[in-house]
Amino acid sequence: RTVYVNGDYVAEADAKISVFDRGFLFADGVYEVTSVLDGKLIDYDGHATRLQRSLDELEMAAPMPMEELLEVHREMVRLNNIDEGLVYLQITRGNPGDRDFAYPPADTKPSLVLFTQSKPGLSSNAAAEKGLSVISAPDMRWGRRDIKTVQLLYPSMAKMLAKAAGADDAWMVEDGFVTEGSSNNAYIVKGNTIVTRHLGNEILAGITRAAVLRFARESQMKVEERSFTVDEAKDADEAFVTSATTFVTPVVSIDGEQIGDGKQGSVAARLREIYIEESRKAAV
Ligand code: PMP
């Protein structure tokens, strides 16, 4: 497959990044994952806006304007023949020439890498119908989860805890409340009300989250943005997660306890359908 590295579209085997790149040495970098349906990008503007915010929070320069980045995304989709799948983008603070904790001068050239993954069937409902099982795990990540950094070791560990327990994913818990999933935002539904954690430094502001909450409100569903506990989740009628690559996916058990009737909930099913339909229409 063809990847993009600092201005060049090259074969994966020919791609090179310095061992002194701060992404490699300090996890000093940010990323975005944009899904592709029908060969088009879903919610590119949302991802570009969040990317710019992540860069600003870390005082990192954008390697090029966001409109040009869109063209790089499109070229990657074209070169790799992606019909359904994703584009991964990563910007790191680059190679200042030596290892030093302090940020290098602002004119250090950032590294920009993109690759694609083809995922035929991404929008199918087969996976969604089965639903996910999750475990709860302490949230041991750093305090700025609102910045989408490549520092993903704890989410990996949480995923391994889930695997070891025979589950699909982990919902992380801090001070007694669920923050989010290892790579998605977490929701419960009780009666006609959708509950998901309010935004803050504790979670990533999901681009899918913003769209799904907008569609929910437009469909006259009630939305509460507030913290909830694992016990409240176990007692909910249904639960689900959202992310760019899973859209809306039901959660059917938590810590081995079935949620609702243990099947895909009707609210999650409806939101998934609306989200995919509307996203296809607005895709670029
Ligand atoms: N929270 C975390 C921790 C994530 O890693 C992700 C996926 N990148 C999300 C939420 C969902 O964000 P989005 O809808 O923008 O993919």
Determine whether the shortest distance from the Cβ of 185 to ligand 1 is under 6 A: yes
Q: Which CATH number does the domain housing residue 42 bear?
A: 3.30.470.10
Q: Helix %, strand %, coil % for the chain, to 5?
A: 30, 30, 40
Q: Computed from CA positions of residues 158, 159, 164, 168, in that sequence, does the dihedral angle turn out positive or negative?
A: positive
Residue 14 DSSP one-character state: G
First to last CA, the chain: 22
> Distance between CA 111 and CA 90 in Å, rounded?
8
Residues 162 and 267 in one domain: yes
User: CB under 8 Å to 249, separation ≥6 — which residues?
Assistant: 127, 128, 131, 132, 184, 240, 241, 242, 268, 272
Residues 12 and 114 in one domain: yes
From 6, 87, 3, select the one nearest 47 (Cα to Cα): 87
Residues 108 and 167 in one domain: no
Residues 176 and 54 in one domain: no
With the most atoms of ligand 1 within 8 angstroms of its CB, the residue from 185, 197, 248 to mutate is 185
Residues 133 and 268 in one domain: yes
Number of H helices, E strands in the chain: 8, 15
Atom from ligand 1 closest to the CA of residue 155: 3
Atom from ligand 1 closest to the CA of residue 244: 16
Determine whether the shortest distance from the Cβ of 54 to ligand 1 is under 6 A: no
Which residues are known to be catalytic? 148
pLDDT tens-digit map of 248-263:
999 999 999 999 999 9
Domain that holds residue 23: 2-118
Residues 72 and 189 in one domain: no
The structure tokens listed for 82 are: 């992606």
Query: Where is the domain boundary, 118, 148, 164?
Result: 118
- pLDDT for the residue 28: 98
Residues 258 and 133 in one domain: yes
pLDDT tens-digit map of 79-115:
999 999 999 999 999 998 899 999 999 889 999 999 9
Residues 46 and 109 in one domain: yes
pLDDT of 127 strictly over 80: no
Residues 277 and 141 in one domain: yes
Query: Where is the domain boundary, 94, 118, 142?
Result: 118
Residues 89 and 148 in one domain: no
In the reported structure, the alpha carbon of residue 80 is separated from the centroid of ligand 1 by a whole-number distance in angstroms of: 24
- pLDDT for the residue 201: 98
- pLDDT for the residue 106: 85
Determine whether the shortest distance from the Cβ of 33 to ligand 1 is under 6 A: yes
pLDDT more than 70, % of the chain: 100
Q: Per-residue confidence at 69, pLDDT binned at 50, 70, 90?
A: very high
pLDDT tens-digit map of 141-195:
999 999 999 999 999 999 999 999 999 999 999 999 999 999 999 999 999 999 9
pLDDT tens-digit map of 29-49:
999 999 999 999 999 999 999
The structure tokens listed for 32 are: 């975005």
Determine whether the shortest distance from the Cβ of 139 to ligand 1 is under 6 A: no
> Distance between CA 147 and CA 149 in Å, rounded?
6
With the most atoms of ligand 1 within 8 angstroms of its CB, the residue from 243, 247, 248 to mutate is 243
Neighbouring CB atoms inside 10 A of 11's CB total 9
Determine whether the shortest distance from the Cβ of 243 to ligand 1 is under 6 A: yes
Rounded average pLDDT over 54-62: 96
SS3 123: coil
* Closest residue CA from atom 1 of ligand 1: 184
Query: Where is the domain boundary, 118, 135, 158?
Result: 118
Domain count, the chain: 2
- pLDDT for the residue 126: 83
With the most atoms of ligand 1 within 8 angstroms of its CB, the residue from 34, 149, 204 to mutate is 204
Separation in Å, CA 166 to CA 115, 134, 162, 163, 193: 30, 9, 6, 5, 30
User: Mean pLDDT for the chain?
Assistant: 97
Residues 7 and 37 in one domain: yes
Determine whether the shortest distance from the Cβ of 197 to ligand 1 is under 6 A: no
From 61, 65, 46, 64, select the one nearest 92 (Cα to Cα): 61
Determine whether the shortest distance from the Cβ of 168 to ligand 1 is under 6 A: no
- pLDDT for the residue 237: 98
Residues 141 and 109 in one domain: no
> Distance between CA 165 and CA 68 in Å, rounded?
44
In the reported structure, the alpha carbon of residue 136 is separated from the centroid of ligand 1 by a whole-number distance in angstroms of: 17
ipTM: 0.99
Q: Which CATH number does the domain housing residue 157 bear?
A: 3.20.10.10
